[in-house]
A and B are shown apart, each in its own frame.
Chain A
Amino acid sequence: MIRLQHLTKSFGAKQVLNGLCLEVPDGRNTVVIGGSGSGKSVTLKLIAGLLEPDAGQVEVDGAVVQTMDRSELAALRGRIGYVFQFAALFDSMTVAQNIGLGLVKQGYDQATIARRVGESLAVVELSGTEDRYPAELSGGMRKRVGIARAIALKPRYILYDEPTTGLDPITSAVMDDLMRRTRDLGVTGLVVTHDMRSAFTVGDRIAMLHCGAIRQVGTVEEIQATDDPVVRQFIEGRPGAALPTPTGGFPE
């Protein structure tokens, strides 16, 4: 389980997270929704140990990420797959090299790496693209290669950063299907998005991030039926006046 406790993070004068608390249960997809710049991507980077919180802590499987040494952090990253918003593929490497890089680090032999690369590409339905470079792929294909890179390590968790942003509806649906299938393989997913259609499709639980803290957490049905004006405004996509600032702490 991933447990975020009272996370606070600022960049200069801008406070991004302000007492964020959230639990991500195993074996399910938890979707964090919120406006652009609300701190969703920062939350994922805190979980992966790419950023340090100003206060609060991140627990993964009972261990506090901020107190891990280098080897513990490397071991943690071996259990967490990360799908970046713009895929973040290494542009000087082929698709196969991109997917195999993490496996090389884990010390697998070449035959195992080739087999795992092939399996991962088959899952994202991109078999045959092993020798192509990222520049030769469409945006949707790149994102799928990003997922293949994440699942090749057989992680326990996958963090998805805006997986459907910038994709056409059909490719978005393919991505949603991939996220559901990955969950069905037993992988815990944490998806951050502001695409409500995708959130309702892939999410088992949905958490609304607003003003640096979680405003509401619930099932898809609970969120769809909410009477919280902030959450309603967001999921219905209605422009409106500034909404009240919440306090930190675990939501009811």
Chain B
Amino acid sequence: MASRVAARDGFVAHVGHLSLETFRALADVRTWGPLLVPQMRRLGVDSVPIALFIAVFTGIVLSLLSSYIFTGAVPMYFVGALVGKTIMMELGPVLTGMALAGRVGASIAAELGTMKVTEQVDALETLAYDRNSYLIVPRVLAATLMFPVVTAFAMGVGVFSGWITAINLLDLSSPDFLKGLKLFYRFKDIWFGLIKSASFGAAVALMGCLRGLDAQAGAAGVGLSTTRAVVLGCEAILVLDAFWALVLL
């Protein structure tokens, strides 16, 4: 038990230290600046298809599920309200975050882990580069900036697929769906979801970097780091989700 507590405290201190080092490295714009856009494309733009795929089916299921719940109990235009609210405030950011934790977190951990065990990280440092400026900052910044963009697309597509489902498979007209969608809509719904997704992006990328740079030698070590990065990224998303709900709602 004591060793588990010590390990947990050590991990928290490690995350805190890495976060501070990353923050300090933000000043080294000359190093991370040219790397930011390629990382935004890799971590963000390339993740759009998987995010949209999830959003389409989330919208369909939400629409069908809310119809099943509301039939005979509340007016059916509430389907639009439930689909819109749920996708914008919760499922859009969280499901997109989870999918990207797998894709982005694993990709970062595997890449940095391989660099670590093949001494490429040491080589970088012998060339007078700061590993935080060169490896961590562009990835964390790119994920922080791009997760909300991908999530915004996912929100739009999720609501749209819910709408299409409602008018084609349910006994609901477009005006009714849109009436429900507008009824409880507040601008806060969107920025709440986007702020959350920015924090998810930072956490997922940071966990990927942390575990990648901690990788032990060999393919098994890199594999283990990658798995841990994905698990930690998902855990961080759930903790942050609860945190933002407590703070912003």
Contacts and interface: CB of A to CB of B under 8 A. Distances in A.
Contacts of A89: 120, 123
A153 B127 CA distance: 9
A100 to B, nearest CB: 10
A115 B125 CA distance: 23
A88 B119 contact: yes
Contact of A88 (B123, B128, B130): B123
A102 B127 contact: yes
Given A86-B118, A86-B119, A88-B120, A78 B128 contact: yes
Interface string B109-129: 000000100111011111111
Nearest to B118: A88
Interface in A67-98: 70, 74-75, 77-78, 80-82, 84-86, 88-91
A80 B129 contact: no
A105 interface: yes
Interface in A23-56: 45, 48-50
Interface of B: 31, 115, 118-120, 122-130
14 contacts: A48-B125, A48-B126, A50-B122, A74-B128, A78-B128, A84-B119, A86-B119, A88-B120, A90-B120, A90-B124, A101-B129, A102-B127, A105-B127, A153-B127
Given A74-B128, A149-B127, 7 more contacts: A70-B130, A89-B120, A90-B120, A91-B120, A101-B124, A102-B127, A105-B127
9 closest Cβ contacts across the A-B interface? A102-B127, A88-B119, A88-B123, A82-B126, A74-B128, A77-B128, A84-B119, A105-B128, A50-B122
